[in-house]
Amino acid sequence: MPHSQPIDIINARIPGYQSLQMLLVNSQGVIEQILPMETVFKRVPPLDLQILDVAGDWISLGGVDLQINGALGLAFPDLAPENSHLMAKISQFLWNEGVDAYLPTLVTTSVENIQRSLAVIADLLSTPQTTAQVLGVHLEGPFLNYHKRGAHPAEYLLPLTIDEVKRVLGDYAHVVKVITLAPELDPTGEVIPYLRSLGITVSLGHSQATEAQAKQAFELGATMVTHAFNAMPPLHHREPGLLGAAMTHPGVMCGFIADGQHITPTMLKILLRACPGLFLVSDALSPLGLPGGIYPWDSREIEVKNGTARLPDGTLSGTTVPLLVGVQNLVKWGICDIETAIALATDAPRKAIDLPGISPKQAANCLRWHHNQTTKELQVMRILH
């Protein structure tokens, strides 16, 4: 619903707000106020005001995907000047899927590939973006534990030292927003503070860190965990490990995947009850938006079936399930209430990288969520853009 007039969205449920609210959106498409519905009669409305009554449906900002490896056939580590035009198509596709912003994620590959991709994204960040916004890069590797590398190619893993970090980042440290690393690879404890000094959020993952090693990493400045439960030791009653440390450390936020394959619904229930800081990611691979089948993936192939991607040896390598389908899955499976599920893909990832959630002064790129009482499905659509 493009608009050039002020609009009041009334009778809205908004994650984080009590009772029904109304959003006052000005003619520039910016939220001016969020007010309880009982104040509606105290307001003198503009003469050209439009009213949108959402009748108790949920309203949120669009999703933010902090871990997405590609889409429409392009893997982000394969970015190059000759295919850079595909980024606009991917951003439009994600926008149409309800995603406001994302971090293109570069999985472990050669330093040359990383540098080439970072250069393309640096150019993109210097130009205006009109659909889903690229916020920067999530560098997932190459500083990962060999034994928890998952589908990451072993030949490109690197030791975790400041010198190697500088070599990988090159002139593009300002492009990298998040980096996933295995903290046990750095016994000096120097790398995490160095990355934080560059303004890079440090996420722990693909790791065999003990509880003590993870706690030390959090004390040094790591604030995130990459795809909880996956590529890390399981929770154990005598060795809580990385995930146990994250669940009990104030301020740490864990990403997780809700495709039903990476974590079973039962474990998702446990995770949501035990961990106060969570956000959804898609971990989607390059076939996102394409049908199932066999696709190239670096020098290998992956097979996509029912939204799950695996290597020929059966190793789980990611999904092609869009971010907001994860929200719908959480509701469909009875994992959490609608408010929580929506917030996990919209406000929570923003919080993880220090962006504001739905609030005044934000662009009103709003989604409307309707819970169909007959089918029990959670339906979503954009209403303002």
Catalytic residue list contains 57 = no
DSSP 226: S
CA 207 to CA 196: how far, in whole Å? 19
Confidence of residue 1 (pLDDT cuts 50, 70, 90): very low
Q: What is the CATH number of domain 7-56+359-382?
A: 2.30.40.10
> Does a cis peptide bond (omega within 30 degrees of 0) precede residue 77?
no
DSSP 272: H
- Quick one: average pLDDT of 276-296? 93
State yes or no: pLDDT of 264 exceeds 60: yes
Confidence of residue 311 (pLDDT cuts 50, 70, 90): confident
Question: Which residues neighbour 243 within 8 Å (Cβ) at sequence distance 6 or greater?
Answer: 225, 228, 229, 232, 233, 234, 235, 254
What pLDDT score was predicted for residue 299?
81
State yes or no: pLDDT of 46 exceeds 80: no
Closest to 250 in 3D by CA, of 221, 288, 276: 276
State yes or no: pLDDT of 175 exceeds 50: yes
b or e along 256-284 (b: 16 or more beta carbons within 10 Å of the residue's beta carbon)? bbbbbbbbeeeebbebbeebebbbbbbbb
75 C-beta neighbours (distance < 10 Å), count: 24
Amino acid at 252: V
Identify the active-site residue in 57, 186, 283, 298: 283
CA 336 to CA 204: how far, in whole Å? 25
Question: Which residues neighbour 336 within 8 Å (Cβ) at sequence distance 6 or greater?
Answer: 272, 330, 344
pLDDT digits (tens, 9 = 90+) for 94-119: 999 999 999 999 999 999 999 999 99
- Quick one: average pLDDT of 188-211? 98
What class, spelled out in words, does domain 62-352 have in CATH?
alpha beta
What pLDDT score was predicted for residue 357?
92
Bigger pLDDT: 301 vs 379: 379
Asked if 223 contacts 294 with a C-beta cutoff of 8 angstroms, the reply is no
pTM of the model: 0.95
The SS3 of residue 300 is strand
Percent of the chain at pLDDT exceeding 90? 84
What pLDDT score was predicted for residue 41?
65
- Quick one: average pLDDT of 142-165? 96
CA 84 to CA 283: how far, in whole Å? 21
Every domain of the chain and the residues it spans: 7-56+359-382, 62-352
State yes or no: pLDDT of 203 exceeds 80: yes
pLDDT digits (tens, 9 = 90+) for 208-260: 999 999 999 999 999 999 999 999 999 899 999 999 999 999 999 999 999 99
What pLDDT score was predicted for residue 49?
84
What pLDDT score was predicted for residue 270?
93
Query: What is the chain's Cα-based Rg?
Result: 21
CA 21 to CA 38: how far, in whole Å? 8
